[in-house]
Amino acid sequence: MSHDTYELKAEAREQVGKGSARAVRRNGKVPAVIYGDKQPPLAIALTYKDIYYKIHGGGFLTTIATIDVDGKKIQVLPKDFQLDPVKDFPVHVDFLRIGKDTEVNVDVPVHFINEDKSPGLKRGGVLNIVRHEVEFHCPANAIPEFITVDLTGADIGDSIHISAVKLPAGVKPVISDRDFTIATVAGSSAMKPETEETAEATTEAAPAAEEK
């Protein structure tokens, strides 16, 4: 599971629609909807401050939350949110109800380790990250916080594919028809090619041999 779970207090909204949503925002709250798990959608209003800090605190879309709706507690996973395009504050949030068998598609960040053990990077190569996040299908109660790519032994020209990453049980890439690339180790214009270094070494060694 990614982050510690948390609880939010909410009020049920009897009315829905644009007019109702505007009224909710005027009262300093954020309109939201809880749906899924074969139950009818539930319109709610959340405290602006609580939801603002959760959205901007990181890991919002990969962390299960409990919403207390007038005393009834519902486990949910945030699925989407809209921010004001100018002021960047939340204007609406969608939550998915979590049942015991709920599975979800979710984008999980990629972390890289052991850069100092990559021969290619130590020689001045560059890590070219193709995917900063990977979309996985997994149980809602077992979403990984991140996946780890080990760069040990990675040399210039190497590609790291999803098959090289050890995934938790039940976690599968949404892209399943190919072994897609997560990152590559590329040469840098600032580094000397090995062929030039070898040639220089040979040239320097020749006069030394003649002097003998």
Residue 81 has pLDDT above 70, yes or no: yes
Q: Architecture of 104-194 per CATH? A: Beta Complex (2.170)
176 closest CA partner among 145, 134, 144, 128: 134
pLDDT of residue 209: 44
Mean pLDDT calculated for residue range 114-129: 95
At position 55, the amino acid (one-letter code) is: I
Domain boundaries along the sequence of the chain: 6-99, 104-194
Task: Return the pLDDT at 73.
Answer: 94
**pLDDT tens digits, 168-202:** 989 999 999 999 999 999 987 655 555 444 444 44
Number of residues assigned to the chain: 212
Q: What distance in Å separates the CA atoms of residue 62 and residue 131, rounded to the nearest whole number?
A: 17
Q: Evaluate if pTM is beyond 0.75.
A: no
Does the structural domain 6-99 have CATH classification 2.40.240.10?
A: yes
